[in-house]
Amino acid sequence: MTTAPRILSALPRPRLPARRVVLKWVHLAMIPLTFWFMIATPSFVAEVFGPTGAAINSDIALIFVTLALGWSIHYFTRGLIGRPGPKLAPPLRTFHRVLHHALMIGLFLVPVGGFLLGLTSERLLKAGGWLPIAPPQGWHRANEVVGTLHIVEFYTLGGLILLHAGFHIWRHVRLKDNALRIMAPKVLHRFL
């Protein structure tokens, strides 16, 4: 007689992609999403694209926040996936570590800020038009402060991202250490 665990262990298991591969694709997906949210404020999207565009923008924001939260939780539980690289001098290794830690904390603060916006709001906010963010407490002044901090945090994160991109482009071109290939999916390597 065969037991259920034996049957389950005999079934073929789907092979999941390696964590580095998944992070490379998340990294690539975050580039256009971050760029979009740097230029497309909710009021801009509603004005230019109307209610349908605002709903689609909300869905895109939910994707962005889900990726940001997943990536930052992965970082908090497993750390950075790679090391700075042997061609970097010790001060640049420290810079690399500090920059990447700041980026991951910044990514985590984006969904935290969204949650706090929902919590302090006067009405129920829904991510993607369907997912309640937080129970609204109607704290008008706190909502204004959180809104301002959320905007400052997001644009600060954008500045860190530009610094991060410039640093890795400099490494790739000046040090020739293939820094851009480290976090780019394999299909893009021929262009780098």
End-to-end CA distance of the chain: 57
pLDDT of amino acid 73? 93
pLDDT digits (tens, 9 = 90+) for 89-110: 999 999 999 999 999 999 999 9
How far, in Å, CA of 175 to CA of 30, rounded?
A: 25
For residue 3, what pLDDT is reported?
A: 66
Query: What average pLDDT does the segment 28-42 reach?
Result: 92
Residue 1 has pLDDT above 60, yes or no: no
Mean of the per-residue pLDDT values of the chain = 91
- The 10s digit of each residue's pLDDT in 49-83 is 999 998 999 999 999 999 999 999 999 999 888 78
Give the best-scoring range by mean pLDDT among 10-14, 125-129, 136-140: 136-140
Domains of the chain: 18-191 (1.20.950)
Per-residue model confidence as pLDDT tens digits over 148-172: 999 999 999 999 999 999 999 999 9
Closest to 84 measured CA to CA, from 161, 174, 175, 179? 179
For the chain, list the strands marked E by DSSP.
126-127, 131-132
Residue 15 has pLDDT above 90, yes or no: no
Answer positive or negative: Cα dihedral of 192, 63, 33, 80. Answer: negative
- In angstroms, the Cα distances linking 91 to 14, 31, 104 are 43, 27, 20
